[in-house]
Amino acid sequence: MDNLSSEHRRKNMQNIKSSGTKPERLFAKELKRRKIYFKANDRSIIGKPDFVFRKKKLVVFVDSCFWHKCPYHYIEPKSNLQYWIPKIKRNKERDREVNKKLKKEGWIVLRFWDHQVKKNLDSCVEKIVAIPKYLV
């Protein structure tokens, strides 16, 4: 049972960001500090990746531990399971579909959990640096 009114729940849900999250801002700041050029939230690419590196033909997603069901930090909601379980399941399915389509189009796809970016920012950025420029 949800302990919030439907109006209060709606307002809470409206405040949840799909882009510009704290892990994304940390990641972008580090990329800029290293003078690594990217495009953020490119709507022209399927899945609207958080970061696009066209010269490397690389896309990066920074996935929330809750919304994408991190195997280490996901905590299943205690209420409204008939909504949340299919919602989270569909997010995972969509991630797989997007990965498959992007790879078919020749993109390299990297996904980082938000906790990885927060705790190991340098190693996440180093994975991008290690990928050579795309050879046509």
At residue 69, the pLDDT reads 94
Among 59, 49, 39, residue whose Cα is nearest residue 18 = 49
**In this structure, what are the phi and psi dihedrals at residue 39, rounded to the nearest 5 degrees?**
-120, 135
Neighbouring C-alpha atoms within 13 Å toward the C-beta of 135: 2
At residue 115, the pLDDT reads 96
CATH of domain 18-129: 3.40.960.10
Prediction pTM value: 0.84
At residue 3, the pLDDT reads 63
Taking the domains of the chain in order of start, what are their residue ranges? 18-129
pLDDT tens across 39-66, in order? 999 999 999 999 999 999 999 999 999 9
Give pLDDT < 50 ranges for the chain.
1, 9, 13-15
Cβ contacts of 23 within 8 Å, gap of 6 or more: 62, 112, 114, 117, 118
At residue 47, the pLDDT reads 96
At residue 14, the pLDDT reads 47
> Which helix (DSSP H) or strand (DSSP E) does residue 78 occupy?
none
* Lookup result for tokens 């927060």: 118
